[in-house]
Every structure is written in C-alpha cells, then in structure tokens.
Amino acid sequence: MSAAPYQLQMHALGYSAATASPATYVPLPRCLMEDLRNAPVALGTYALLARLYQISGTSVYLSPGDLQLYDPALSYGSARRAIERLVENGYAVVVDSSGRKISYLPSWGMVDNAPRPWDRAAPSWARPRHITALRLDDRLLDLCMGRLRPHAIHPAVVERYVAAPMVSLRDIGAYARALAGIPTRSTTLKDLGLFDRDNQTLPLPDDSTILAIASQRAVTDATGGLTAAGWRRAGFTVHAPPPPAGQALFFAPTGTKIEDVSANMIEDVSANMIEDVSANMIEDMIGLAHDDEAEDCAQERAKSTITSSPSRSHGSTEDHGENPPAVKQATTEAKVGGGKKKIVKEQQPDQSAPSLSESTRLLRSIGVRTDVAAKLADRPANLIQNVIAQAHARKDVRNIAAWVVSVLRTLPAAEEISPAPQKVSERAILFHPTISGYDRMHWLAIFRSAAIADRPAVLARFHAQHPTQDTSQDPTQDASQDPTQEHKGVIEENRAEKVDLALAPQRVSERAILFHPTISGYDRMRWLTIFRSAAIADRPAVLARFHAQHPEEVSDAHTA
C-alpha cells in the first residue's frame, strides 16, 4: 500500500525505473565515504577531481581558489583542508608541484601502503577488485553546478547552465555519503527531491525538470534562473536584443557655424524631426515669432526700462551673483528653413550706468541685490570687509549674503573700530648694556608672558628700574638699526631657553658631589641620585646636607 504514493511522486518529477542507475556517472570508492564521513566537502572535492580526470584523462591542476570559483559558498580554508585531507588519506596523488598550481590524480585509496591512482587506459579505471565503487550521477556536477575548466597558471573558468549553483560541494558529499548508507541530512537535497522523508537518496530527474526548477528560482531569488547556455540546453532559442534604433543627436562645440555641418545631414535631421513638430511649438522652444510680432516686441522692449525684482529675504539674489548691468538690445536676423525671422538676441552693455561705491561693490560681490546694497551703502567699507571675513570664517553660515546683511542691519551705521594695540619690541631689554644675564632673562620672561596691550607698561617699568645712558629715546619705540653679530648671538642663546625666570630659584651644581675627593663610589652615586631627583628649589638644601655629612678642606671651588 505504501508503494503507490512513491510511484506517483517519481512519475510527477519525471523519474522512471531506468533512471535508478544513472547512464553516466562518476565511480566513487566506498572506503572513501567511510574514511572521510565527517568531511563532506572533501567527498565533493573528490567527485569533482574524478569528473575532471574522466574528461581530460590527465592530472588536474586544482587550487583552493578554483574550488571557490566553482562553489561560491565555500571558504578558502575549507577548500584547502578538503584537498589536504584527500592527499593525507591517499585519495589524491600529487603529480607536479613545481609551478604555481599543484596537479593531482584521483586515487582508489591505499593499496599495499601506497596510493593506487586512476588509470584511464586500464579497465575500470585501474580499480582493485576488493574496492567497491558507488555510482554518482555526473549531472549533479555538470548540470546542477557547472563545468570547471582548470588551468596550470591562471584561475579556472566555470561554465554553468544555471545562474547560481543549485547545490554545493558539501551537498554533493552528503549525497555520496547517503549512497554508502551512512545517515545524512541535507535540507537542500530534500527541497530538490533528491532525498525522501527517510533521508534516502533518490535518482535525479531528467534535464528538463532540473532546468525548469532552476528557472523557477528567478521568481524568488534575483541571482537565480538560467544562463543563455541553460536556455539553449532546455530547447529554447535566445535572441540577442536588437541595437537601439533612431538617429543619435549631434552636439556642435560653441562657436560652430551651421554652414560647417554637412548639408545632407541637416536636411535629413530637419526632414525627420522638424516637420513632425508643430510650428507653434518650434516658436515657443527657440524663441521665434512672426515678423510683425517680432518687430512689435522689439519696439516695446526698446521703450521699456529695467526694474528690480521684488525684495526677498535679506536681499540676496536667486543666483547669488551680481545683477547684470543695464543693456541695450539689438535685433538680428537668423535663417530658419529658408526664411528669415527677427530674433532679439544680441545685448550691449549700457555705458551710462552709474558707478558703484566701494561698500556697494563689496556687497554686490557676495550676491546682495542692488536695492539692498544701496540701503547699506552708508556703512564703512572696512566694516563690511570685516563682516564678510567673519562670514567666510564661520563654518555654520550657509548663506553668506543673508548673514552679512542681517549683521549689518543690527550694527550702527558708523561703528567705532578700536585701534590695534601699539606693538613694542623686546630689543630694549635684550640689548641693555648694564643689566646682568639673570635680570635680562627675568625681564624677557615678564615681557613675553604679558599681553600685547600690556607690553608698553612692562617696558616702561623696565626702563624706570634700569635706566640707560641715553634716556632721551622713547622706551616704547623700536630701534631701527640692525643688531650686531654679538647681539645676534645673544638672541639665539635667549630664544633657546624656554623657562620662566620670573620665579626661577637659585641654581646649584652637582660638581661638589661629582668631584668630592674622599667619598666612596657608592655614596657618590647615592647622593647624585638624591640631588638629581630633587626639585630645583630643593637642591641647595640637598647640597648643604651633603657638605654637612662629607666636609672637605676646599669646598668653595666645587660649589661654584
């Protein structure tokens, strides 16, 4: 009773009793499925290697990258491990490894502690009698995945009937493992009807059924469907799309005359295009009108004057550019279809336009309208320049013209600009003839740390405490003469020191410890470590403690 539904299922998918044993197949040794039952990718790789040897009859150049091209779902590590497992277990023999790729031969396994490779000239591919072979339908590789064309140097080429593989090498390994009676589960094979409900293998349907199933995948998967070779294999004729019809448009460069183009080409284009368009539409598109209408329009435009557009937000123009000056229009004639029509095209600038002030010119340069710029013309030019510079410096300003106008409207008409603080030089301190080096560095540190506006007062205090012989010179004025070579050396020496000498403590040397004549080497290193790790302000106290514990007859010479 249970056989009737199974026969119906086989008939619905196009099976027949003769398809139980495939007509063309790849023989797989049963011991392979038993030894590598936990490596389905290696089983699928062996089936591919055996199929390629059946086609070529020679060793096959194969790399992990080629396996990835054949099976896009396979990772590089899985492909490399699959090949290594076949070689380690004696099911693949390395023939040549001197080039960029390694060539392999399929093997029946280990026989007498040595791999037994396939031989195309021997009966049954040189299979030993004690090794049982299972028949794997080669359409599972050729039709469901594709055909691989390996190369000794370059990557392999894959030819497919389907746009995307219907199965993977892992699925082929699972199918081969199920042929050997090893329990296997595969959702992909069950969806294709190659596994029954008990996960037992079912024969493949005919080619038309397989290709029909592949074509149905294009409905739910954008990468599915058939290739052009697949449609031809299914019996359909695929025609190439026709070339685009019609005449392509020609674009002439600026300044090209119509007479420079071939007359025949103009007649063909005008005959095919211009005659099909109504005369009114042509006049609207190219700005032409009848002779009497063109003359009337020209006279009216000559009498009319240019008026400013209505005010918008902050007075910025739509194109953020300057308004064109007043122009005078002239009438020209153009030749169209053998007739003449008047076109108002040429424009000449009106030399009688009034000149713009500096403030108006600055506002017009950033896109402010003429009427708004005229209202703000009483603002000082330097004020407008400062506001424009601030607008360019700010990153949050999107419309510079609107921002400048809004700021100028909030500011008074005549803003008092505070003068820049007077700049004074440190040369009076640097080249003072009588002060010591310590006082010079002390006052230089005070002068440089002060603000620019406070430096004249610092310089005045310096001259009050350290007057020079020539007191008639203004201390706040900079000297005009160049410094001598001696003064240049002082400048470079003072610039090298970047310390604040306003509160600089007394500096003492470690020479008293370093050259002490009586202390041992251990005590010398200990006191040097204490001295160097102490702060500069605490070093005199450390040196005093050292002299108290280790006095010497002549200590002043070392503390200099």
| Predicted local distance difference test score (pLDDT) of residue 249 | 80
Whose CA is closest to 175, among 166, 162, 160, 188?
A: 188
Q: Show the DSSP H helices in 201-286 as ranges.
A: 207-220, 228-233, 263-269, 279-286
Whose CA is closest to 225, among 235, 215, 234, 233?
A: 215
Decide: 161 and 227 in contact? Cβ < 8 Å: yes
First to last CA, the chain: 120
Contacts of 150 (CB under 8 A, 6+ apart): 52, 60, 61, 62, 66, 101, 156
CA distance 357 to 369: 14
Q: Mean pLDDT of residues grouped by 10 in the chain (560 residues)?
A: 36 39 92 94 96 94 95 95 95 89 95 93 93 94 95 94 94 95 91 90 92 87 87 86 79 66 52 49 46 49 44 46 45 46 48 70 88 86 88 86 88 60 84 87 90 89 82 45 47 48 67 88 88 87 91 52
Token pair recorded at residue 413: 């008409």
From the number of C-beta atoms within 10 Å of its C-beta (0-12, 13-18, 19+), residue 323 rates as middle
| Predicted local distance difference test score (pLDDT) of residue 393 | 86
| Predicted local distance difference test score (pLDDT) of residue 257 | 61
| Predicted local distance difference test score (pLDDT) of residue 174 | 95
Phi, psi of 173 (to 5 degrees): -65, -40
| Predicted local distance difference test score (pLDDT) of residue 310 | 44
Decide: 362 and 379 in contact? Cβ < 8 Å: no
Coil, strand or helix at 193: coil
